[in-house]
Amino acid sequence: MCKVFIREFYPYPTGDAVPPTGIRLVGSAEKWFKFETLLKCCLLGLGHQCIGQMDHPSIADRTRDASIRIYAHKTKRDVAGDFFYKQMHMPDLFTLDHLGWGADHSELQADPLLSDIDTSKAEQFVESLKHRLLETGCSKLAQPARGSPDSLPDDYIFVPTQTPRDYVQIHHSPISVVSFVDLVSNWASEAGQNVVFKLHPGLYHTSEVDRRIIEAVARHCAESCRVFCVNANVHDLISNATGVFTINSGVGFESLIHGKPVVTFGNCDYKWVTFAAGANRMDEARQYVQKYTEEQRQRANRFVYHYFFRHAYSIENGESESSRERLTAFLRRRLGACGGVN
């Protein structure tokens, strides 16, 4: 039996850059609790002892001599733990890995094998996901109600912004958010291409770095007839777009579910089915969007299927039992007889 320490997700807003909000749970707290319950059930089912700690990040670990340490929302670069779990691009989707999550996850450092996934099965699954997204209008972050925005231009590329505090922006992006806004906007004006920005709901006017992003988008909208900013439901903005440009936002993953061509400017775990762009590849990126093939779309479907059923663990009611079996098998393989992590 192993004694397993779990540094659980702290479910209250933290950080000096975010204005005071009082003691309230973050919107995704319930999902984190649900995955942590699943993780503990799997560990207990294998005969291990779980020691949980949910405290403010400023409070030190109380591991009580645990031989295995698991951390929420961390990677190996943050803390010397054994495993790390994180809510991923959709509210019900989590990963667990010995290196970290997203672009740090050990199993997406290379292009995954997708050829053995049945194309029709993957398409059927992704279509059902798309239907769910369009029906509910739900995303990882709170969204306005769905509707058909009147202010959308024709033939536009959707560009979701990110926050400068985003972990993937800090560690996996060669370009700042402001520079990204400037790059896309200037190119759009020169190339005659409509682009629609949506400001990240986590941007705050009380933060100077956030204001620079907000002001950059507003300035380009005022100066160019090709640049727009619309605060609409993200699924309306994706579904009406020709394609999506993003640094490495989770919206890019949702866009793959919508069947859209996705262009990425930073490192991310779904990069294997996107076009990797930069300042010198903007026109190529537009060509990728315009010439996106059925074969590319089908490969993206297989990647999404792989992500749900081989890579991550879904706590969605219809998929939770499968996740329990796979997570238990993973922990059995990795913990073994608890002589150390395998």
Q: What is the pLDDT along the chain (342 residues), one digit of tens a residue?
A: 899 999 999 988 765 555 545 556 677 899 999 999 999 999 999 999 999 999 989 999 999 999 999 999 999 999 999 999 999 999 999 999 999 999 999 999 999 999 999 999 999 999 999 999 999 999 998 899 998 787 899 999 999 999 999 999 999 999 999 999 999 999 999 999 999 999 999 898 888 999 999 999 999 999 999 999 999 999 999 999 999 999 999 999 999 999 999 999 999 999 999 999 999 999 999 999 999 999 999 999 999 999 999 999 999 988 889 999 999 999 999 997 565 566
Q: Return all residues near 150 (Cβ < 8 A) that are at least 6 apart.
A: none
CA–CA distance, 50 with 69 (Å, rounded to integer): 10
Buried b (16+ CB within 10 A) or exposed e, 286-310: bebbeebeeeebbbbbbbbbbbbbe
Orientation angle between helical segments 177-191 and 208-223, nearest 10 degrees: 10
> Sign of dihedral through CA atoms 335, 327, 56, 162?
positive
Q: How far is CA 55 from the centre of its chain?
A: 24
Dump the DSSP string for 65-76.
T-SEEEEET--T
The CA-CA-CA angle for residues 40, 46, 47, to 5°, reads 90
In the block, residue with structure tokens 């010397």 = 80
Answer for the pair 3, 66: CB distance below 8 angstroms, yes or no.
yes
Burial of 51 from C-beta contacts in 10 A (0-12 / 13-18 / 19+): middle
Answer for the pair 108, 97: CB distance below 8 angstroms, yes or no.
no
Question: Residue 69 pairs with which residues in a beta bridge?
Answer: 5
What's the CATH superfamily of 119-305? Glycogen Phosphorylase B; (3.40.50.2000)
Q: Return all residues near 296 (Cβ < 8 A) that are at least 6 apart.
A: 261, 273
In the block, residue with structure tokens 């939770």 = 320
Answer for the pair 114, 306: CB distance below 8 angstroms, yes or no.
yes
Could you state, in order of their start, the residue ranges of all structural domains in the chain? 3-88+312-335, 119-305
Q: Return all residues near 221 (Cβ < 8 A) that are at least 6 apart.
A: 197, 227, 228, 229
CA–CA distance, 141 with 87 (Å, rounded to integer): 12
CA–CA distance, 5 with 68 (Å, rounded to integer): 6
